[in-house]
Amino acid sequence: MTRTPASLTPASLTLASVLVLSVLLAGCGSNEPTTNPIVVPPVAVAPTPTPTPTPTPIPTSFDVGPCLNQTVVPGRTVANLVVPDVLQLDLNQPAGFPNGRRYLDPVVDVTLAVIFLDLARHPATTFANLPVNPNAVDQPLPNTFPFLAPPLGSPPTSGGAGTNFTFRSDLPSAYTRVDRAGMPAVSTALISGNPNKNSYNDDTPTIDATGKWVPELSGTLTILTNALADDLTRLGLSVCARPLN
């Protein structure tokens, strides 16, 4: 008969199992936190980088001298057109800006183009050619005096033949200037506001020629250019002013 060694009896096996289990548990650590606390290693947290402040862009200021000195037509600069503020007409030259003013001339569009844009790259009609203005008057204009279309209405209040006009013959002293419009848009766009507008309207082209209003015209043009230059550039237009910074 085969005999089982004493070390492998059921009692021995039970005792051995308990001893092995005790060793294993001792090696794994106790569940009792007071005698064998579980230590959680600290988790390294990367510090949040301090964001670099975005510098506030410095507004670009412009020198508008090149605008005032650029040539509009041979012998005439922008400065010559606005100082003194008079409308000149040479009967030997074609009519239209800057030689006089025709009824349908888009004078404000032309004036703004002349004071803002580089005329070596853009014509004075740049703004006038944009499709935002009415494309025609209600009725075609005649080529003879008084160059006005017949009146509207049904029936018209007049035959529109241009007769029976009564022209006043008062001396210039009988009239009061309300607004100056020698070069259209100069007094409205380049004079900053009251009281300057009233003072400008009270003055004469003779006073203009002394240079009295040059600082006002240049200063207002600078303010407008500083505000509008980036918009004009984004539209693909070249401004006549030059940045100072």
Over pLDDT 70: what percentage of the chain? 69
| Domain annotation covers residue 77 | yes
What pLDDT is recorded for position 7? 47
For residues 182 and 162, what is the distance between their CA atoms, to the nearest angstrom?
26
| Domain annotation covers residue 12 | no
What is the model's pTM?
0.64
Q: What's the structural domain count of the chain?
A: 1
For residues 131 and 40, what is the distance between their CA atoms, to the nearest angstrom?
74
For residues 12 and 15, what is the distance between their CA atoms, to the nearest angstrom?
5
* CB-count burial class (<10 Å; 0-12, 13-18, 19+) for 32: exposed
Is residue 42 left, alpha or beta, with left meaning phi > 0 and alpha meaning psi from -120 to 50? beta
What pLDDT is recorded for position 65? 93
What pLDDT is recorded for position 87? 85
52-64 b/e (C-beta count within 10 Å ≥ 16 → b): eeeeeeeeeebeb
| Domain annotation covers residue 233 | yes
For residues 83 and 73, what is the distance between their CA atoms, to the nearest angstrom?
16
What pLDDT is recorded for position 208? 92
Query: CB pairs under 8 A, 24+ apart, for 55-59?
Result: 58/245, 59/226
**Residue 47 near residue 232, CB atoms below 8 Å:** no
Which residue ranges of the chain lie beneath pLDDT 50? 1-31, 33-34, 36, 38, 40
Tell me: cis bond preceding 151? Omega within 30 of 0 counts: no
What pLDDT is recorded for position 135? 61
Q: What pLDDT digit, counting tens, does each position of 108-157 carry?
A: 888 899 999 999 999 999 998 887 766 666 777 888 877 777 766 666 56
For residue 65, give the 3-state DSSP assignment: helix
| Domain annotation covers residue 81 | yes
| Domain annotation covers residue 141 | no
Domain that holds residue 199: 62-131+178-243
DSSP E strand stretches across 124-208: none
For residues 77 and 120, what is the distance between their CA atoms, to the nearest angstrom?
13
| Domain annotation covers residue 166 | no
For residues 95 and 101, what is the distance between their CA atoms, to the nearest angstrom?
7
| Domain annotation covers residue 88 | yes
Question: What is the longest distance spanned by two Cα atoms in the chain?
Answer: 159
For residues 67 and 78, what is the distance between their CA atoms, to the nearest angstrom?
7
Pairing mode, strands 76-77 and 71-73: antiparallel
| Domain annotation covers residue 228 | yes
DSSP bridge pairs for 76:
73
Nearest CA-CA partner of 101 in 176, 181, 190: 181
